[in-house]
Amino acid sequence: MITTARPAADIASVGRLRLTDPDAIRRAAAARPRFDAAGFARPLFILAADHPARGAVAAGGNPTAMGDRHELLARCLEALSRPGVDGFLGTADLVEDLTLLGALDGKLVLGSMNRGGLPGASFELDDRFGGYDARGIAEGGLDGGKMLLRIDPAEQGTAQTLSATAQAVNELAERRLLALVEPFKSVREHGRVRNILEPDAQIWANNIAQGLGRTSAHTWLKVPVVAEMERMMASTTLPTLLLGGEGGGDPDAMYASWQRALRIEHVRGLTVGRTMLFPPDDDVAGAVDTAVSLLGRDDIR
């Protein structure tokens, strides 16, 4: 059954509940119906909203689009209610808000782990694990954790991020939880970090990422859509999800590029956030439905 987004009054009640009954979060998490593992056999659509915890609140050309928590929750609720949306990726604050609202019932939920690499900071590539840890993911009833891994050989902080990512992969694998690693080859230019979205750079980053930890049995990758996707994806045998990026470009070209990439066998779906939550025409449901349609799933036709 398709649910509808909750009214603003329900979202406001989350703040009151946090004040008067903080243990409600634990109870709601314990009672939440879990994702059916059989769902991994189908292409997945996972909504991502972990950007604000890193101070990245821009979307669709608006520098503060994701800064209003009530507005962001309303958009997440709308997106999560659409048929074919399998899960959510976020930090504890958003996961807990949405759990209290019942929006994550039956969903695949991934916790965002390293949010310390703030955009523009001198320590951006020393991307500390200040969000979820493996223990919190397990105790919260989540299905896995996601790590951002930006690799710049010229930045000393990259070494710490590599080490911490390997440790997180190990700790998740010990608990049989999914480790979703999002690797990039990155460079700092004029004080800002830029990810190099080219096939050779992504091949290089993929090979580093998939070798981290004492086992890759529970590791998936999360990668951008780049030129020569087939050649780039030949760099890994790991299940892989596509990321959507910041948005603000040509939606038709974006959807077409996703559709082509989804034809690759071990590309297992989409993990998209800002482009769905803040589409150019502001139609969240329409954007999500279009993206889900690219998966070619019989269960939502």
Task: Please tell me the predicted confidence (pLDDT) of residue 4.
Answer: 45
Q: Is the model's pLDDT at 246 over the cut of 90? A: no
pLDDT in tens, 29-50: 999 999 999 999 999 999 999 9
C-alpha 140/C-alpha 144 separation (Å) is 10
Give the global pTM. Answer: 0.94
Q: Is the model's pLDDT at 251 over the cut of 90? A: no
φ, ψ at 99 (rounded to 5°): -65, -45
pLDDT bracket for residue 111 (50, 70, 90): very high
CATH class in words for 44-295: alpha beta
φ, ψ at 101 (rounded to 5°): -85, 0
Q: Is the model's pLDDT at 250 over the cut of 80? A: yes
Amino acid at 114: N
Closest to 75 (Cα-Cα) out of 55, 108, 98: 98
pLDDT bracket for residue 297 (50, 70, 90): confident
pLDDT bracket for residue 301 (50, 70, 90): low
C-alpha 225/C-alpha 202 separation (Å) is 10
